[in-house]
Amino acid sequence: MSMITLKDIRHSYLPLPVDDIDWALKEMSVEWQDGGAYALLGPSGCGKTTLLNIISGLLQPTEGEVWFGDQNVTDEPADARNIAQVFQFPVVYDTMTVYDNLAFPLRNRGVDEAEVDKRVREIGAMLDLSETLAKRASGLTADGKQKISLGRGLVRENVNVIMFDEPLTVIDPHLKWVLRSKLKELHQRVGATMIYVTHDQTEALTFADQVVVMHDGNVVQVGTPVELFERPQHTFVGHFIGSPGMNVLPCDIDNGKVMFAGQPLQIAGTAGSDVKGRTEIGIRPEFVSFAEDGIPVNIVNSIDVGRFRIVEAHHGDDSIKLLVPEGEGIPADGAHVRFDPAHTRVYIDGWMVGGN
Ligand code: ADP
Ligand code: MG
């Protein structure tokens, strides 16, 4: 097992990439620590599978290098990299038994039968497949097949990394929850580096110690769930993580002064004085509150979500969401809102500035 380093990777599926949009992966360098539990989070089409396939060696990057520990493996084929990859849709040999399916990756590498038997039974038990080991895989439901796929990913020991590409897509919601907790537990037990790909923030945040957030072929932030919540480095992270996501509002920056709704705003850190580009503030609904004065708003909607109400207020064309704790009043007319300065950050062209 070893640390995995991606150095200045770029990838295009086109033979002659020219424009920015020709690159499925924009230039990135990412380190994956040995033994880490990572989630790779981003919407469909942002490049997650491309990135996984570059790590596993199914895909050669157009530019850059892949290192496992102190070895440059960029030119090594997938089967020389000692990794396990679980795909979005189950890869199962229907004519084989569940047992033989699980044993396959081990037998393929010449592991002796006593060891094969031990590992297959262990992994089978962890995934509640013990009862079905002797059955043909063809008789199983989609859930059962995906469990076999997961098992095949987990059955080998001492792999460099186990990668799961949206493995719970075809699984029903309850079992999804069970399997997700199980994977977390398995990570703690086997200690292998795991990369779990998902477009679902809940899945990412419950599984991972470190979340790698992707958007449009870029890695926009790597951080703990708390860091992503508290200090989103990019408006995309703020918006994508959180429920509801961060408010992103256009602002003007005039000589270092941040102006929104014709009023100066206090922010975390400084905005800088020579600002060029699209300027916005980011403030999470958790840190917006009603106040006596501040930004005048109209309340347009309020949804009860248990311990909170999600209130939507408008200032002109700008929509601002707030979380109002249960039991707190919501003003009728003449409402004003206030942003907590410690959590108000400035973004230029999407990227956070001076928000320390
Ligand atoms: P994700 O896994 O996040 O949904 P992908 O890595 O599959 O994203 O895709 C990233 C981008 O690359 C998308 O625009 C997709 O259409 C494109 N792409 C993916 N695979 C191929 C391929 N084999 N040939 C051409 N374009 C591809
Ligand atoms: Mg994908």
pLDDT of residue 26: 97
CA distance 35 to 275: 41
Amino acid 158 reads N
**How many Å lie between the centroid of ligand 2 and the Cα of residue 53?**
10
Query: Which residues hold their Cβ within 5 A of ligand 2, which is an ion?
Result: 48-49
Question: Terminal CA-to-CA distance of the chain, rounded, Å?
Answer: 36
Choice between 332 and 235, residue whose per-residue pLDDT is larger:
235
Q: Please choose from 9, 10, 11, 13 the residue to mutate so as to test ligand 1's pocket, defined by most ligand atoms within 8 A of CB.
A: 13
State which ligand 1 atom lies nearest to the alpha carbon of 217: 10
**How many Å lie between the centroid of ligand 2 and the Cα of residue 47?**
7
pLDDT of residue 1: 67
Q: What is the mean pLDDT of residues 61-76?
A: 97
Strand-pair category, 308-315 with 257-260 = unpaired
pLDDT range class, residue 356, cuts 50, 70, 90: very low
CA distance 193 to 5: 13
Is the model's pLDDT at 330 over the cut of 60?
yes
Identify the residue whose C-alpha is closest to ligand 1 atom 26. 13
The alpha-helical segments, DSSP class H, found in the chain are 48-56, 98-107, 113-126, 142-154, 173-190, 201-207, 225-230, 235-240
Instruction: Tell me how far CA of residue 108 lies from CA of 78, 101, 116, 150, 152, in angstroms.
Output: 14, 11, 11, 17, 12
Using a pLDDT cut of 90, give the percent of the chain over it: 77
Looking at 3.40.20.10, 3.40.50.300, 3.10.290.10, 3.10.330.10, the CATH number of the domain 4-236 comes to 3.40.50.300
CA distance 311 to 303: 6
Q: What is the mean pLDDT of residues 254-272?
A: 88
Average per-residue pLDDT for the chain: 93
State which ligand 1 atom lies nearest to the alpha carbon of 14: 25
Ligand nearest to the CA of 13: 1
Does 24 sit in the ligand 1 pocket, CB within 6 Å? yes
Taking the whole predicted model, whether its pTM rises above 0.95 is answered as no
**Exposure of 250 by Cβ count < 10 A (0-12 exposed, 13-18 middle, 19+ buried)?**
exposed
DSSP β-bridge partners for residue 339: 288
Residue extents of the structural domains in the chain: 4-236, 249-352
**How many Å lie between the centroid of ligand 2 and the Cα of residue 44?**
7
Does 44 sit in the ligand 1 pocket, CB within 6 Å? yes
pLDDT of residue 2: 85
Q: Please choose from 11, 14, 40, 49 the residue to mutate so as to test ligand 1's pocket, defined by most ligand atoms within 8 A of CB.
A: 49
State which ligand 1 atom lies nearest to the alpha carbon of 165: 2
pLDDT of residue 270: 83
Q: What is the mean pLDDT of residues 202-231?
A: 95
Class of domain 249-352: mainly beta
**How many Å lie between the centroid of ligand 2 and the Cα of residue 115?**
33
Is the model's pLDDT at 163 over the cut of 80?
yes
**How many Å lie between the centroid of ligand 2 and the Cα of residue 197?**
8
